[in-house]
Every structure is written in C-alpha cells, then in structure tokens.
Amino acid sequence: MTSLQAPGLSSTFLLVASMAFSACMAILAGINGRRRLDVRFFMLGTMAYTVWILFSLLETLAPETGIKLLWNTFHWPFMLAVGAGYLLFAAAYVDPAAKKPGQTVTVLLAVPLLLAVLASGLAAAGMEPLLYLRYNRVDQLLSPLRFKPSALAVVFTLYFNALLLTSSITVARHALSKTAERRKGATVVLAGFCLLLAGNVIRAFMGAAHGLAWVLLFLDASSMVLFAYGLFSERLFGSLTKARRAVMDTLLDPVFVLDKGEAVVDCNAAASTLLGAHPGDLTGRPARELFADWPSSVVAALGFSEAETELDLPDRDGSTRRSYRITVASSPARDRSVDWKLLVFNDITGQKSDARDMASTNEELEFWVRQRTAALRLEVAQRTSAEERLRELNEEITKTQREILWTLSEVVENRSRETAYHVVRVGEYARLLSQGYGLSSEEVEIITAAAPMHDVGKIAIPDSILSKPGQLTEDEREQMKRHTTVGREILGSSQRPLLRAASIIAHEHHERWDGKGYPRGTSGDDISLSGRIVSLCDVFDALYTKRVYKEAWPLERVLELFRAESGKAFEPRLVDIFFERIDDILVVTQRFADVFVVPAS
C-alpha cells in the first residue's frame, strides 16, 4: 500500500484527519478495556496505522526528494505491523480464552516484519533499489513521493493483504459457526475487515487519485468504527436500560450480566470490587475464566439456567472472610428476542455468623443438659442396680430432650396467635398418621416428639406480626414465611436424631404435595414424610379449633376441604389414613381441647 497522493493542502488535511482519528480510536479503546487481550491487539494495529499515516504526512511535508524517500522507507515495517496487529486482534476476538499467539503464528508475523525493518534500514542508508525500482523527483512542499515499487516491496504489500484476508477468514468462520460466542459482534468486525480489503483493492488498481482519497479515508475510518463496535457493543448498546443500569449500580451485592456464551455483558461496581478489576476490563471476558480459581461450585452453577449455591471465601490466614449465596437466573425460554443470564452474589456473612452463634448456644445448652444428665446418672447409680440405672438414664435423657423441645415450643406458641394445646394436638395427630403409614415405633416416637417444634422459627418473627388480629399484608406474610428457614437454622446444627427431625419438620411443614408451597416449592416425595405428615396435622388443627382471630370450622367443612386438597396440598395416601383414623383424631381434639374449642357440628 503506497501513501495517499491527493495534491496540496487537501492531501495534508486528509492525512492529519486520518492520523487524529486513528489515534483517538486507540486511546478510547484503551480507556474502555485495556486489560482485554483483543483490545490490546486492536490498539497495536491502530497505533501502528497512526504512525504509518504520520510518516505519510512527514513525506508529504518534506521539501526535498531525498527526505521524502527517507520517510517513505519507514512505511513498510509499520504497514506489516498494522496487518500483524489486526490478525492478532481477530484471533483474540474469536477466542477470548487464548492467552498468547502460538509459536507458528509468532514466526509468521515476526520474520516478515524484521525483514521489512532490515530492508527499510538499508533503503534509508542508500540502497533504494531494495524497495524502489524508479521514483520521480518531486522537490516541492505538500507533494508525496511517486514511485514504482520493487519486487520486495510488492511482496510486502501482498503479505500485508494476505494478513488482512486471513483475519477476515478467521472472523468469518467464527461468525458462521452456530455454536460460537459473540457471533453478532463477529459479523460487525468482519464487515470492518471487508472495508479494509476494499480500500486496498482501490489503491492497487486505481491508485489514490484526488477523488478517491476521501473514499479511502472513509473506508479506513469506518473499519475502525466497526472494530470498536464489535469490541464494545454489548457494553454500549446492551439490553439493559438506563434505569436498570442505575439500579444495578446502587446494589451492594455483586451482579454480573452474561450473554448466551456466558461472557460478561455488564456488571455493577460491587462486582468489579469483588474481583478487584475495573468494570471495563471485565466486559467481554468469559465468566468461567473469571471464576476459574474460585471454588468449583461457582462454575458448576453457571451450567444451569436456574441455580443457587453458597460458598465461603477464606482470608489469608484461612479464616472465613465473606460468605455468599450465589444465585443464577436466566431469561425466560419464551422470550427469544434476548438471551441473558444473571449471576448475583448475596452477602450472607451476617446470617452465617448468626447461625454460628445459635450453634454455640445449642452447644452450651447441650453442655448443661449433659451436666444435668451426669447428676441424674449419679443419683440413679446410688439407688438402683447397674441395669436399672442405665435404663433410667436413657429415659431421663429422652425426657430431658423432649422437655426442652416442649418448653421451647410453648415459648414460641405463647408469642404467636396459636392456642396453648396446639403443639400437643399436632404431635398426637402426627403419632396417629405415622402409625397408620406403617412406620416403626421408634420413627413414630421421633415424629411425635419433633412435631411440636414445627413453628419454632416464629421466635424470630416480630410480635407486631404474630399478634396482629387482622389479615397480614403481603410484606408481613413474606416475613412470616421466614419462620420455616429460621426454624431449620435453629435446630439444624445438632446431630441428634430428634433435633434433626425437628429441623426438617420446621423447614418443610408448609410445602405442598403439588409444589406450590414454601420455602423451596418442592413437591411429591421430595418433601420428607415427616414434613408431609405435620403439614396435614397443622392445617387440620388450625381449621378445626378456634383461634383469637377466627372461629372453628365445622367438621364436615374441614373434611370436604381435605377431600378437595388430596393430591394438591396433601399426599393422597395421608388423606386416606386421616379419614380412616378420624375417630381417633377427634378423641385427641377433645382430650386436649382449649377452653374455647367449638364442638364438632
């Protein structure tokens, strides 16, 4: 490619404008993503193009042929540098995970470039025939050198165009692949390479006459604009509106927006702080690469359209620094106009700390239980034989555990709107249904003892909500729903079978057989049997007994509801067992009736 040859001031103006534009494009690209490999190679090619134009400008402004020839000799290495930079840019764009060019590519780019540097140096030293067979003497200002290139110069020009053609083919293959990432951007980048090739064809066959100089400048500038669009289009023109972007930036939790190929489209300030990088340096990078050194659960969660996991990030000394709940959400399958995925990091360090404090409290409670057990064991040993002492000790341990559960249950129920014997009845109902289900006596006893703890999580619900006589607001209902997860956290830290069973019941007793319950929305056999049993018992007692905020339902109305909800809210087999044992259940209701219980109608 020879220098632009428009006459006089027009040629000078075009060269200055082209040089200024290319320099600005390189600077803007560096500001927006200088740490990205494809951006750095784009900057390399663009800056080489800027210097190339600078030498053309110096050649045009030179007053003598010898000086013009000197400046023109330096065109050749920078011409090849432009081609090499753009080829590396194309390779990095289609494969962002690549760290550096291969050895073969490096040789194919470096050797011709070194030959061009050597030839330019020799030509500048007086061996002009290496690059020029013949040139006209133009000893006047604002006039470029006109020459006939040598065979070596023609080879350099052909190699430069071969680099651009290879770049175009690399991007075209990526754009045509149905499984490739960044396909839309690759199509735009391909259009930029096509404009560069079109400009070189015009220069080769039509020269650079005054009328075409503006066209060539337009083609070069347009190609750079298309390259920049391909690099930063997702960041500048993504699917996020300004309002959503403003909301993202105000969030304290890190949020990443990913495209179909799991490359980062956008992120908020908290996300860049989490990774210790500038937001512009994260845009376009694959999420799996960003989190490659993190615990494997993060990368595993990216493989699902909807997922949730937790992780602890250790400090340098190995202690836990931050705990996060990672949530993955995707665009609805029915929305084909846009395809995105959200990766949200919720800081749950405080919740984890509270859970550890509760576990510590449980350990202390268990310590005092053990102390009390030891005292009881000593007392029994003084009064009975070894066999009798062991039996009574086991009974005392079980009794102590149950008393603790009963006491804690009564404390919770006294804060809520339930009646005094609600937990007693729920436990006895659970005994009858467990026996009818065919469970062993040990399993029946565990469920019976654990069932009264189903609402222990209400200890964390404000009194204003628990004691409210009227209907709860939507926000209050959401707070009330928290008692299931709080109950699991309170009881789940213990490994004792009874407390573990109570933890499961507290967490799942509001799940529904059809999956429309809370907190997890599990369905069918995915809900524990104890949770399914207590769910039915809790609903029956809530409907059939009077509360401060409602009257008791007639028995027939309750039974009609249970028939309707069989297979929806409740497991059909449990509903059948409930109807088989309705007489025994009513006996329990009467036996542990509150003073204001309404008799069955």
Q: Last residue of some domain: 237, 264, 288? A: 237
Q: Last residue of some domain: 320, 347, 374? A: 347
**394 is a domain residue:** no
pLDDT at 286 over 90: no
Is the domain of 204 the same as that of 265? no
Is the domain of 330 the same as that of 265? yes
Residue 424 is part of a domain; what is its CATH number?
1.10.3210.10
Is the domain of 303 the same as that of 167? no
Query: Is the peptide bond preceding residue 519 cis, with omega within 30 degrees of 0?
Result: yes
Residue 162 is part of a domain; what is its CATH number?
1.20.1070
**99 is a domain residue:** yes
Is the domain of 204 the same as that of 296? no
Is the domain of 44 the same as that of 155? yes
Is the domain of 220 the same as that of 252? no
Share of the chain above pLDDT 70, in %: 79
Residue 286 is part of a domain; what is its CATH number?
3.30.450.20
Q: Which long-range contacts (CB under 8 A, 24 or more apart) does 512-521 make?
A: 512/568, 512/569, 512/570, 513/567, 513/568, 513/569, 513/570, 513/571, 513/572, 514/567, 514/568, 514/569, 516/568, 517/569, 518/481, 518/484, 519/481, 519/484, 519/485
DSSP 263: B
pLDDT at 513 over 80: yes
Is the domain of 480 the same as that of 586? yes
**471 is a domain residue:** yes
**367 is a domain residue:** no
Average pLDDT over the chain, rounded to an integer: 77
For residue 495, give its domain range: 410-591
**337 is a domain residue:** yes
Please state, in angstroms and rounded to a whole number, the distance separating the CA atoms of residues 428 and 409.
15
Is the domain of 176 the same as that of 93? yes
- pLDDT category of residue 578 using cuts at 50, 70 and 90: very high
Is the domain of 201 the same as that of 226? yes
- pLDDT category of residue 236 using cuts at 50, 70 and 90: very low
pLDDT digits (tens, 9 = 90+) for 529-541: 999 999 999 999 9
Read off the pTM: 0.44
Tokens matching residue 321:
């620094």
Please state, in angstroms and rounded to a whole number, the distance separating the CA atoms of residues 533 and 435.
11
**320 is a domain residue:** yes
- pLDDT category of residue 457 using cuts at 50, 70 and 90: confident
**399 is a domain residue:** no
Is the domain of 156 the same as that of 13? yes
Please state, in angstroms and rounded to a whole number, the distance separating the CA atoms of residues 333 and 181.
19
Is the domain of 138 the same as that of 107? yes
User: Higher-confidence residue: 438 or 142?
Assistant: 438
Tokens matching residue 552:
């008791």
In the predicted model, what is the mean pLDDT of residues 363-377?
Answer: 82
- Cβ density class 92-128: b for 16+ within 10 Å, e for less: bbbebeeeebeeeeeebbeebbebbbebbeebbeeeb
pLDDT digits (tens, 9 = 90+) for 120-179: 777 777 777 777 766 666 656 666 667 777 778 788 888 888 888 888 888 888 878 766
Q: What's the structural domain count of the chain?
A: 3
Is the domain of 219 the same as that of 250? no
- pLDDT category of residue 240 using cuts at 50, 70 and 90: very low
Q: Which H or E element spans position 208?
A: none
pLDDT digits (tens, 9 = 90+) for 172-222: 888 787 666 667 777 888 888 888 888 777 776 655 444 566 677 777 778
Q: Last residue of some domain: 208, 237, 266? A: 237
pLDDT at position 521: 93
**383 is a domain residue:** no
